[in-house]
Amino acid sequence: MQFHHHGYVSGDPRVLPAAGVGLDRPAELPDEVDVLIVGAGPAGMIAAAQLAMFPNVTTRIVDRRPGRLEIGQADGVQARSVETFQAFGFAERIVAEAYWQTEMVFWKPDPADPSRIVRAKRTPDDPAGVSEFPHLLVNQARVLDYFAEFAANAPTRLTPDFGYEFEGLEVTDAEQGGEPDGDHPVTVTLRRTAGEHEGERRTVRAKYVMGADGARSRVRAAIGCHMAGDQANHAWGVMDVLAVTDFPDIRTKCSIQSEAGSILLIPREGGYLFRMYVDLGEVPVDDHHHVRQTTIEQVIARANEILHPYTLDVRHVAWHSVYEVGHRLTDRFDDVPTEAAGSRTPRVFIAGDACHTHSAKAGQGMNVSIQDGWNLGWKLGHVLEGRAPESLLATYSAERQVVAQNLIDFDKQWSTMMAKKPEEFASPSERVVQSSSPVVPS
Ligand SMILES: Cc1cc2nc3c(=O)[nH]c(=O)nc-3n(C[C@H](O)[C@H](O)[C@H](O)COP(=O)(O)OP(=O)(O)OC[C@H]3O[C@@H](n4cnc5c(N)ncnc54)[C@H](O)[C@@H]3O)c2cc1C
C-alpha cells in the first residue's frame, strides 16, 4: 500500500495505471506512430521502457526475431548499468539473481615449464569503490526481460512487436528538401518474418525512428552513416557449458594466457554454468566468415590445450557461438550530415552496436548501448510532449559520439594489455594497475 496524491493505493506499485495511448493500445502495429524503434536489444529496450512512461507518446518497437531473446549474447553488466536499472526499479532484483564479479584472476605460463599455466595475480574488481552496486554477470536476455516488464507495466502498456524486419526508410521532411509530409515525415518499410503474414510488406509512418538494430544495422545504411575502423575482425569461440574440471578458479572470472592461446572465463549466474571465450585470433579480411564454421568440438579441444595441465570435460553445452567483431565507429549517430549539424532537426537516430563495435574482452557492449538508449529515450519523450525544444535532439549525436570514441580507445588499450605476454610488461605494477576494474565509458 502506498500513499499517492489521490490517497492510499493498494496493489503492486510497479504496475502503473494505464493512461493516454495505453488506454486503448492497438494490438497490431498501427500505420502512424510517434517513435518507431527498430531492434529490441539493450539499446532499443531501454529507450522503449523510458518512452513507455510518456502517456501521450505512441512508441512501438519492432524486431525481426519471432519472440524474446532466450539465450546467449552479452553478459557483463557494469555497476553503472545497475545504477541505471534503479531508475526502472529492478536493480535489487537483478542483483539477487546475478553472479557478482568482485575479483579477477590472471593465469600465465609457468616460467619453470611454459607448457603449464600457473596463477599469477588476483585483483579486486572495484578497488576504488566507484559504485554501491557490484559488477554483475547475468545474461542479456534477463536484462531485456526486465525492461520489457517495466514497459508493459508503464502507463502506455508498451510491448515489443516481434516478427517485423526493417527493410528501408525515406524521410520526406520539408527541412530536408523533400515534400512536406505532415507530422510523420519518416516512412519505414517492414517485412513480416513470422506468423501467418510472413513475407508480407507494410509501411509505418513515424515522427522519429531509432535504429537499434545491431552491428549490421540497416537503419545505419539507410541514413548513409559510415563505419570506420579495423579492416579485420577478431574471433572468439564462445560457449556456456556445464563441465567437470580440476581448474581451481572455475567459479571466478579469469584471464588465462598460455602458450596455446588465451581464454576469458566468466562464471554464470545460477551456480553451475560458466562461459569461456576461447580466442580464435585475428580473422583475415578474405576469410569470408569461414571462421564461423569452427565447431564446438574444436573450441573445446582448444580450451583443453590452453588450460594444460588442467582438463575440461564438457558434459552439456547450453549455448555456443563464434563471435566475430572488430573495432569500428560510425561517423555520426543521426541522419544529419556532419556538415549540416545543428542546421536541422534529426529524424532518424542510431544507437548501440549500430554505432560502435569492439571486443568482448572488457564486457562493454551491452553497457554502452544501454547508455546510448537512455540518452535518446528521455530526450524524445520530452520533445514529443512539448517540454523541451526539438534542438535538444541534436545533442544526442554530439554527446554519444565522444563516449563511443572513448569506448573504442579504451577497448583497444584493454585488449592489447590482455594479449600481452607477462615478459612484455614494463614492470609488474603496470599489470596490476591495468588489471583493475575497467573505467566504464557511460
Ligand atoms: C550472436 C551475438 C553474440 C554476442 N556475444 C557477445 C558476447 O559474448 N559478449 C559481449 O560483450 N557482447 C556480445 N555480443 C554483443 C552484445 O550483445 C551487444 O554489444 C549488445 O547486445 C548491443 O546492444 P544493441 O541493442 O545495440 O544491439 P543487439 O543486442 O544486437 O540488438 C539488435 C536487435 O535488432 C534486431 N535486428 C537486427 N536487424 C534488424 C532488422 N533489419 N529489422 C528488425 N530488427 C532487427 C536483432 O534481432 C536484435 O534483437 C554479441 C552479439 C551477438 C549478435
Cα separation, 208 vs 119, in Å, equals 52
Q: CB atoms < 10 A from the CB of 275, how many?
A: 23
Give mean pLDDT in consecutive 10-residue pieces for the chain, a chain of 442 residues.
74 91 96 98 98 98 96 92 97 97 95 97 91 95 98 98 98 68 90 94 98 97 94 90 98 95 94 94 86 95 97 97 91 93 92 92 88 98 97 95 92 73 52 44 56
Domains observed in the chain: 2-72+141-229+328-409 (3.50.50.60), 100-136+231-325 (3.30.9.10)
Mutate to test the pocket of ligand 1, among 65, 73, 322 (most ligand atoms within 8 A of CB): 73
Whether ligand 1 lies within 6 angstroms of the CB of 323 is answered as yes
Q: pTM above 0.95?
A: no
Cα distance between residue 101 and residue 76, in whole Å: 9
How high is the pLDDT of residue 178? Answer: 56
With a 6 Å cutoff on the Cβ, whether 60 touches ligand 1 is no
CB-ligand 1 contact for 38 (6 Å cutoff) = yes
pLDDT score, position 269: 94
268 pocket-lining for ligand 1 (C-beta < 6 Å): no
The rounded Å distance from CA 374 to ligand 1 centre is 17
Nearest CA to ligand 1 atom 1: 73
34 lines ligand 1 (CB under 6 A): no
- Rounded CA-CA distance 311/50 in Å is 47
Rounded distance from Cα 125 to ligand 1 centre (Å): 26
Q: Tell me the residue ranges of DSSP E strands in 125-226.
A: 135-137, 161-162, 164-171, 186-192, 201-211
| Ligand 1, atom 50: closest residue by C-alpha | 73
Atom of ligand 1 nearest to the CA of 40: 49
Give the separation between CA 209 and CA 187, rounded to whole angstroms.
9
Helical pair 42-51 and 365-384, crossing angle rounded to 10 deg: 30
Kindly give the number of the ligand 1 atom that is closest to the alpha carbon of 351: 26
Which residue puts its alpha carbon closest to atom 38 of ligand 1? Answer: 213
What 394-398 contacts at long range (C-beta under 8 Å, 24+ apart), as own/partner pairs, is 394/334, 394/336, 394/341, 394/342, 394/345, 394/346, 396/333, 396/334, 396/346, 396/349, 397/332, 397/333, 397/334, 397/336, 397/341, 397/346, 397/349, 398/341
- Hey, CA dihedral for 373, 358, 409, 79, is it positive or negative? positive
Question: CA–CA distance from 198 to each of 114, 142, 165, 413 (Å)?
Answer: 56, 28, 10, 45
- Which residues are paired to 208 by β-bridges? 35
Predicted pLDDT of residue 138: 96
Cα of 72 to ligand 1 centre, how many Å?
10
Helix (H, G, I), strand (E, B) or coil at 65: coil
For ligand 1, the distance from its centroid to the CA atom of residue 224, given in whole angstroms, is 20
Q: What is the pLDDT at residue 425?
A: 52
Burial class (CB in 10 A: 0-12, 13-18, 19+), 362: buried
pLDDT of 198 reads: 96
